[in-house]
Homo-oligomer: A and B are copies of this chain.
């Protein structure tokens, strides 16, 4: 292996830059040439590919976003698109790929590898933490801390006015962010897609809570089956039916995708990036480099995409017990 390329794809996540840096520097350390593809698979197709050097990644480890930009590519879903991409890589002599992203990114990478055989390793870059084969994904810790800081601020104002706040966090299919910032934020309830939300119980508990506590925080994952935070608030409000009580909604939105990555995300991103390059050099391919039980581990793209990582059981109990 002599030349590798790296790109980011899908929703951006804090720590992607730290991962790019690790890929570039590990590659150079081992004598490889390294290229950066801008705009993900779209850039691969259009040949938006440039040589990277050690200084290309100076002073980016602490930055949110991705210097290689990201995009969704419809064209790469077609055979013709992938053929163009292959020709671009072939013309540059690229014989190894590191793909930083989530499920969608790995699905594309798997198909492309199986069609054209350029060894490819993924790094788990997504705030959602919903990828099998790694304890945590790059960006998750930062997103949770960003959401938690917002909850801390909202609790100040909730307490000052005795309000009930519904806070919507990211997570279309998974409740990881909601659960961790719910525990950390001392939320009374957390509503996630993985478990059935029992609004009757919530209403009953809120009525009871109000005797001992003046304000309440409810964290809602955007993908909860009862609806988004606005909808759920309206349902609860109607059932509580108390004019003295104020109900408010805050949807945290895209602030969860940005910001300087936390220490944990920078370390994870660095480890995955180094492991991806060294994995390629050791003959690994068609897999993701993650961290499992604290150690680097390679998991086939097939498993990463196909298997699900359940929420910790004791996490849900924690919320129930600690909000009394």
Contacts and interface: CB of A to CB of B under 8 A. Distances in A.
Interface of A: 8, 12, 14, 16, 18, 21-22, 25-26, 28-29, 54-55, 58-59, 61-66, 69-71, 135, 141, 144-146, 148, 150, 152-162, 165, 180-181, 183-186, 212-213, 248-255, 257-260, 262-264, 266-267, 270-271, 274-275, 293-296, 312, 314-315, 317-318, 321-324
B212 A54 contact: yes
A316 to B, nearest CB: 12
B25 A64 contact: no
Nearest to A29: B321
Nearest to A152: B62
B152 A259 contact: yes
A184 B294 contact: no
Contact of A258 (B144, B155, B181, B263): B155
Interface of A is mostly: helix
B294 A293 contact: yes
A36 to B, nearest CB: 14
A203 to B, nearest CB: 21
A184 B61 contact: yes
Contact of A157 (B12, B59, B156, B296): B12
Contacts of A59: 155, 159, 186
Nearest to A318: B270
19 contacts: A12-B160, A18-B184, A21-B186, A58-B213, A65-B155, A65-B159, A71-B162, A148-B262, A152-B260, A153-B254, A153-B258, A156-B259, A158-B254, A250-B253, A250-B254, A250-B255, A275-B314, A293-B294, A295-B312
| Assembly stoichiometry (copies) | 4
A239 B184 CA distance: 43
A22 B258 contact: no
B29 A156 contact: no
Given A155-B59, A263-B184, A294-B312, A322 B257 contact: no
Contacts of A263: 141, 144-145, 148, 180-181, 184
A78 to B, nearest CB: 18
A262 B259 contact: no
Contacts of A135: 294
Q: Which of A58, A71, A266: most chain B CB closer than 10 A?
A: A266
A314 B296 contact: yes
A264 B6 CA distance: 30
